[in-house]
Amino acid sequence: MLTLAGQYVKDEHIFTLIHLISGAPDHYAYAMHSTYLGFKDNLMQEGLVMFGMWMIGEFGQLLFQPYSSSTFSSQAVDNGELLKVIEEVLENPKTSSKIRDYALTALMKLSVKVGSSYLAKVNSLIASQMNWPVSEVQQRSMEYQALMNAKFNEKRKELVQAIPLSKRAEQLAQEKSQK
């Protein structure tokens, strides 16, 4: 849907999609893999990239294993490949500040999901936004940069946990598990 709609997707539709996905735990892996495949080659579609960055932040670890169902399959994505796509987003001068914020948050959340050999790259990508002309992006970059300090490793794990499901989504998940 987002791939076809391109630049015409309004933020409220993206937030609705985020709400729908967050309430469907059985579909996280499918949603993550299909979103990644859709946006990695369409980095100029703001709505798709924004949604992709949110998905990576919440469920990016699901990309590190292959996914297969009766209608769709996808190979595992290497940590380095995933970080390269985020780097492309951040290096593009046309990337909006809003997308940069989502990308920085995705990097922060990935910092506890990728192997320790990738932490320097995550740190470098976060630091790359410290000189962005928009102060909110600079501030977020500096705050996240400070949290990348090794003394905050345990606290960072707590801070970047997945966003909790809404009450209604929790009820639906409980009802489904009781069946």
- Residue 51 in contact with residue 39, Cβ under 8 Å? yes
Amino acid at 124: S
Spatial separation of the C-alpha atoms in residues 112 and 149, rounded to whole Å: 12
Q: What is the pLDDT of residue 35?
A: 93
Spatial separation of the C-alpha atoms in residues 18 and 12, rounded to whole Å: 10
103 closest CA partner among 54, 156, 60: 54
pLDDT of 146-163, one tens digit each? 999 988 888 888 888 877
What average pLDDT score do residues 98-124 get?
Answer: 94
Q: What is the pLDDT of residue 23?
A: 83
Spatial separation of the C-alpha atoms in residues 45 and 178, rounded to whole Å: 40
User: Exposed (0-12), middle (13-18) or buried (19+): which is 60, by Cβ within 10 Å?
Assistant: buried
Amino acid at 64: F
At residue 110, does pLDDT exceed 80?
yes
pLDDT class of 175 with cuts at 50, 70, 90: low
The pTM (predicted TM-score) of the whole model is 0.86
- Residue 128 in contact with residue 120, Cβ under 8 Å? no
Q: What is the pLDDT of residue 31?
A: 94
pLDDT of 5-26, one tens digit each? 556 677 787 888 888 888 888 9
